[in-house]
Structure 1
Amino acid sequence: MNDFRVLKLLDRLEGLFCRAGIDYGVMRSILQVKLTMDGRRAPTVLAATQRSAEPKEGSPFRPQWVYLIMGTFLIPLIIPSGHYMLQMSLVLGVVMFMITTTLVSDFSSVLLDLRDKNILFSKPVNRRTLNMAKNIHVLIYLFTLTLSLAGPTLIVSLFRQGPLFFLLYCVAIVLMNCFILVITGFLYLLILKLFDGERLKDIINYVQIVLMIAITVGYQLISRLFNLAEFSASFIPAWWQYLIPPVWFAAPFELAFGGGRGIHFSVLSGLAIILPLLLIIIYIKLMPQFEKSLQKLSAQEVGGREAARLSGWLSTVVCRSREEGMFFRFTWSMMKTERDFKLKVYPTLGFSIVFPFIFILNMIWLGDGGGIGNSKTYLFIYFSATLMMTVVQMLRYSGSYKGAWIYKVIPLPGDHTVYRGMLKAALLRLFVPVFLAEAVVFTVLYGVRILPDLVVVLFANFIYAVLCFLLLPRSLPFSERFEAAKQKEFTGSSFLMLFLLIGMVGLHYLATLLTGGVYIYLVLLAVGNYLLWRRTFPEGKRTKPSGMSNMDIF
């Protein structure tokens, strides 16, 4: 195995780990194995460049060029001087937003992983050492991601703002990463303490949704901290700014370089330094409890009869045949029990819930909120359908993909029965509840006059779900492993699907300009749904999914 440079850097902190009760030698060996195994699979962010589904030997620290490109867009914010509170709040807000969303979506499965315990707990390895190895593993990739995002601005700050600014920027990034990791761990620990078994797994996914909503809305608040006028910015202190972490980490820059004075900047700077360090100490003390509570995830749900009855009843209502109903119930059950699927898809629910409201909040903040009730901004509810872009992509993947051999032995009249049941289950389990919840809020905001428009949006989104299915390469549900994801197949299709959604918004807007246009458009959509679903999923036709050979599922 390779002796990675990051492990040599950790060797210099061996005494610190030993004083914390960590068996450093064992922890180093575990990390070496984890990093070696990571080098044999394609990173998620680079899956688009991986042509083969087979893992290859390589370094786990290959450049994350997608995040590097995103980081270059932050360079204009780091060049000016004089408004450090504004500049660094925006820069650190973007970096913190991207890191937290990536941590929740990609690293939750690592933080909540139980697979290595069957091997390591039979050896002389204490829980604190194993949990620290897991957190160091996440931190390594967290800092790799951070360097990709903040690297361009770090380099520019060294030459534009000076070495002291550069060093302070590095310290702020380190403290921010520790804060993000510890806060995420505390949330999971709290949930692990309160709930058991399958209920706990669902609660964790719900917390991810709430966390995504809080992060998205919080990032929108950052730009509202300042009074921008004629290219100048003045920071207006307020009590609620103490609840926004990017402002904490921006305050030391204003104190050191912007001439900021007053108790407000001092308290914010103290929070940026003291709170992450204090949380790390507490987290290290609580790691054994976290590891002990994590065992609850291995508990299996005994009940589940109510969910089975619901999916069974819905399958009889919306499905045209017994075979279609069978795959409707199968997809419904897999979406409920497949942990990796939920960890990757459920955070998208948060974005789908909050995005329609962000546009409205921006109008309110700009002072145009008085006329919202009589406007047509309710059409922003269309953007809740962005959820279907991710869901249709991810329905092909599963941790139990080897069981896909069953598709080859079941006597089916055609695989379109499978796809139709799959898509209906995804719509009813994930999209429709989100849409109905948002529809209630929009009805309160805009009045009952928009009810016909909401029905039109629902029918239009049913068509949009089929279009997403048609634009993406076909693959039988839950028949591929997550590691084989080829994002290059989806990039162009995702942009096209987004433009289609915007086009639907435009058509709906044009319909509202005509007398009775909404009702005419509703009839057209109902007929279009019937024809499109019937033509896309004909009975008795069997096709071979793209990207899957006859032996791929064995």
Structure 2
Amino acid sequence: MKDFRTLKLLDRLEKVFTSFGVDYKIMRKILQIKLTMDGRRVPTIFSQNAKKKGKEKENSNQYISSLWIYVLFGLFLVIFVLMEENYLFQMSLFYGIFTFIIMTSMISDFSSVLLDIRDRNILFPKPVNRRTISTAKMVHVMIYLSFLTTALVGIPLIVGMIKNGILFFLVSLMNVILLNLLVVGLTALLYLFILRFFDGEKLKDIINYVQIGLSLAMMVGYQLLVRSFELIDLTISLDPQWWHVLIFPMWYGAMMEMVMNGVYQPFYLLFSALGVLVPLLSIWLYVKFNPTFEQNLQKLVYQGKAKVKKRNKLKLWILSVICRSHEERTFFKFASLMMKNERDFKLKVYPSLGFSVVIPFIFIFSGFENDLDSLASSKSYLSIYFSLIIIPTIMLLLKYSGKYKGAWIYGVAPIDGLKPLFSGTIKAFLFNLYLPVYLLLSVLFIALFGVRILPDLVVVFINSCLYAVICFMFIKQALPFSESFDDSNQTGNGLLIFALMLFAGLFAGIHFISTLVSYGIYVYLVVVLLSFVLVWRKAFDVTWEEVRS
């Protein structure tokens, strides 16, 4: 088995681990096995470099080889360290973006490590110290976070050291380490809280939604961070508010301002103290309650009781209206169940649905931040088209599943053609995922702009349905839920999604032009409706040869 350089470096801390009651030799062997196994899988967040089957070396680690992506992200962060010396502003943004990426990594990839019960099943019956097992799990996560952190902030910190001196580098390095500890500690404590009160399948669903909520909260929090500062006479200023305490990237921006510019006001002292104490406290609490955490992990094995579903006459009637044929209704129900129960699918798709609700309002209030009175009479309601940008991504993901090996069922299903399969799946997506988001946005937009925009909202919805069908036609055809998520987001998919987003911009542009002409919106409504009917009739004429090619 390969002896990793990381473990050789970790050997220098052997006495530290031993002093905490950890059997270092056993922990090292556990980590060596874990790192070897990690080389055989592709992490979720790095699926852009998805493996090419049969072409990888057995000991190559896909995580390490794909970190160059984050080196590119790090080049963007260089902008913030090169700004003028308002450290509170520039470094709060720097740490905010860094935290967003680290939190996303914890959610999408490292949560499976924290919630792994294989250690309990395999190692607990053996004569291995419990503290050794839990420490190995935490060190495993921290090793990969250190790789990610180095790739992401290595170049920016070196540039910052050249520009601002060695003190800037040392303080930034300490802040980055504290942020990593904070993210790991808070994530573990959050899961501990959930594990304490819920069981089995319910627990897995809650964890899934918590992960989704964290993704959305990080995006909203970043917007709050940016709007905490004001630009007055080309000078960036901050009026401290109590709720700034909740935006923890500002803790570290305040620490940098205090150290580099010698500002020792109570606001800066409080934030700097929080930035040091809270991460250490979160890790201490995790270590203290880790035995309870490991014990409650066993609940993940419990599958829960089978649910007895009641027949809902209203749903059956709606289904009969939406889907005319029996085959289409069958695939509609099948796709709906997959979207509802497939956790990998929900983890990738549901944050996008949340973003689609937030993004239109970000653009609205960015343009009318100081002039909300004129908002109601403006045409900013067209920002609802930003909600369409999620459609190509989700349409692409519809062909992936964690249970893709079950796709053989399509070959034995008694169907004459693939048209009801694809049309039923697209209708299931529009009805179950997009329609709830659209209705919520419509209610909020009517509250902001009034009932005058009702015809516009109807046009937007029809355009959304037409856009979904266009995306389906351009994306390489494959049977729904028939491919592995390891193959998602391959090279070229990003460019395809970007190109398809241009169609959404085209729809929005034509919509805006139609509002400049009397009754133009009604003419546009008729044109869009006819286009949708014509495209829908032709879009799903897909043969078996096309999906197998």
- TM-score, length-normalised on structure 1? 0.91
Matched with 1:552 is none
CA change 1:282–1:151 in 2 (3 A) is same
> Is residue 2:286 matched to residue 1:283?
yes
Shift of 1:156: 0.3
> Is residue 2:266 matched to residue 1:263?
yes
Shift of 1:153: 0.6
Q: 1:109 aligns with which of 96, 104, 112?
A: 112
Deviations 1:62-121 (A, max 9, x none): 242222112112212212453111121111111112222333233333333445554444
Superposition pairs of residues 130-149 of structure 1, within 5 angstroms: 130-149=133-152
Equivalent residue letter for 2:300: L
Q: Comparing 509-518 with 37-46, which one deviates more in the overlay?
A: 37-46
The 8 Å contact of residues 397 and 480 in structure 1, kept in 2 or not, is answered as yes
Q: Distance in 1 between matches of 2:162 and 2:357?
A: 42
Q: Distance in 2 between matches of 1:435 and 1:126?
A: 53
Matched with 2:358 is 354
Matched with 2:11 is 11
Shift of 1:49: 4.4
Matched with 1:319 is 323
Q: Distance in 1 between matches of 2:137 and 2:391?
A: 33
> Is residue 2:349 matched to residue 1:370?
no
Q: Give the share of equivalent positions with the same residue, in percent.
A: 46
The 8 Å contact of residues 42 and 51 in structure 2, kept in 1 or not, is answered as no
Matched with 2:27 is 27
Shift of 1:122: 4.5
Deviations 1:456-481 (A, max 9, x none): 11111111111222222222122122
Q: Distance in 2 between matches of 1:341 and 1:29?
A: 34
Matched with 1:36 is 36
CA change 1:349–1:137 in 2 (3 A) is farther
Deviations 1:304-350 (A, max 9, x none): 44487587665433223222222221111122222222222222222
Matched with 1:514 is 517
The 8 Å contact of residues 45 and 109 in structure 2, kept in 1 or not, is answered as no
Matched with 1:414 is 417
- Classify the secondary structure of the residue corresponding to 1:412: coil
CA change 1:391–1:114 in 2 (3 A) is farther
| Alignment gaps of 5+ in structure 1 | 550-554
Q: Distance in 2 between matches of 1:144 and 1:312?
A: 52
Give aligned pairs, total: 545
Q: Distance in 2 between matches of 1:134 and 1:505?
A: 49
Q: Distance in 2 between matches of 1:338 and 1:18?
A: 42
Q: Distance in 2 between matches of 1:423 and 1:184?
A: 35
Matched with 1:543 is 544
- TM-score, length-normalised on structure 2? 0.92
- Classify the secondary structure of the residue corresponding to 1:213: helix
Q: Distance in 2 between matches of 1:213 and 1:362?
A: 19
Q: 1:182 aligns with which of 167, 176, 185?
A: 185
CA change 1:301–1:421 in 2 (3 A) is farther
Matched with 1:202 is 205
CA change 1:53–1:465 in 2 (3 A) is farther
> Is residue 2:406 matched to residue 1:403?
yes
Deviations 1:180-227 (A, max 9, x none): 122222222222333333333333333233323321122112223333
Shift of 1:415: 2.0
| Alignment gaps of 5+ in structure 2 | none
Superposition pairs of residues 359-508 of structure 1, within 5 angstroms: 359-365=363-369, 367-508=370-511
Shift of 1:259: 2.3
CA change 1:480–1:115 in 2 (3 A) is farther
Q: Distance in 2 between matches of 1:45 and 1:103?
A: 10
Q: Distance in 1 between matches of 2:22 and 2:396?
A: 41
The 8 Å contact of residues 119 and 133 in structure 2, kept in 1 or not, is answered as no
Matched with 2:227 is 224
Q: Distance in 2 between matches of 1:127 and 1:400?
A: 34
Q: Comparing 301-310 with 459-468, which one deviates more in the overlay?
A: 301-310
- Classify the secondary structure of the residue corresponding to 1:189: helix
CA change 1:492–1:289 in 2 (3 A) is same
CA change 1:535–1:384 in 2 (3 A) is same
Q: 2:236 aligns with which of 233, 238, 248?
A: 233
Superposition pairs of residues 122-133 of structure 1, within 5 angstroms: 122-125=125-128, 128-133=131-136
Equivalent residue letter for 2:329: G
The 8 Å contact of residues 96 and 249 in structure 2, kept in 1 or not, is answered as yes
Q: Distance in 2 between matches of 1:362 and 1:504?
A: 22
Aligned-residue Cα RMSD (Å) equals 2.5
Q: 1:254 aligns with which of 252, 257, 277?
A: 257
Q: Distance in 2 between matches of 1:196 and 1:386?
A: 36
CA change 1:179–1:260 in 2 (3 A) is same
Matched with 1:337 is 341
Q: Comparing 137-146 with 116-125, which one deviates more in the overlay?
A: 116-125
Shift of 1:21: 4.9
Matched with 2:295 is 292
- Classify the secondary structure of the residue corresponding to 2:231: strand
Q: Comparing 408-417 with 192-201, which one deviates more in the overlay?
A: 192-201
CA change 1:198–1:384 in 2 (3 A) is farther
The 8 Å contact of residues 192 and 294 in structure 1, kept in 2 or not, is answered as yes
Equivalent residue letter for 1:2: K
The 8 Å contact of residues 191 and 200 in structure 1, kept in 2 or not, is answered as yes
Equivalent residue letter for 2:473: L
Equivalent residue letter for 1:8: K
- Classify the secondary structure of the residue corresponding to 1:544: helix
Q: Distance in 2 between matches of 1:527 and 1:343?
A: 35
Deviations 1:222-266 (A, max 9, x none): 223333244432333222211111110111211111121211111
Q: Distance in 2 between matches of 1:534 and 1:115?
A: 50
Q: Distance in 2 between matches of 1:234 and 1:175?
A: 26
Q: Distance in 2 between matches of 1:117 and 1:407?
A: 38
- Classify the secondary structure of the residue corresponding to 1:477: coil
> Is residue 2:167 matched to residue 1:171?
no
Q: Distance in 1 between matches of 2:421 and 2:20?
A: 54
Q: Distance in 2 between matches of 1:427 and 1:300?
A: 30
